[in-house]
Structure 1
Amino acid sequence: MLKVRLMGTKNDITWFGKILKRNPKIEVTEFSNLYPNKGTKKFYRAYVEVSKRNIAEK
């Protein structure tokens, strides 16, 4: 399992979260709410827990 911090605009974090969730090799076990970064109103952060999916090879 990996814990990852995403930082960027709301749209960037949402966009990348969708990519992570659609990836067949990755299982997103937790995706936090967006938190504003201090000192800016443009950038946010989110925390994601991911793990490797067990996919049988054909």
Structure 2
Amino acid sequence: MLKIRLMGTKNDITWFKKIMQRHPKVEVLEMSDLYPNKGTDKYYRSYVEVKKSNVKE
């Protein structure tokens, strides 16, 4: 399992979360809400837990 911190704009984080959810080799276990970064209104962070899917090629 991996714990990943995503940092970027709201649109960037949403875009990347969708990519992870659609990828056949990645199983998304948990996704947090968006948290604002201190000192800026533009950038946010989100936390995601993922693991490898048991997909055979």
Q: TM-score range with shorter-chain normalisation?
A: over 0.9
Are 1:7 and 2:15 matched, yes or no?
A: no
SS of the equivalent of 1:15 reads: helix
Q: Displacement of 1:51 after TM fit?
A: 0.1
Number of corresponding residues = 57
Q: Displacement of 1:56 after TM fit?
A: 2.6
Q: Displacement of 1:6 after TM fit?
A: 0.1
Aligned residue for 2:45? 45
Runs of 4+ in 1 over 4 A off after TM superposition: none
Given residue 31 of structure 1, which amino acid in structure 2 is its aligned partner?
M
Unaligned runs of 5+ in 2: none
Identity %: 72
Unaligned runs of 5+ in 1: none
Q: Displacement of 1:55 after TM fit?
A: 1.1
TM-score normalised to structure 1 length: 0.95
Q: Displacement of 1:24 after TM fit?
A: 0.2
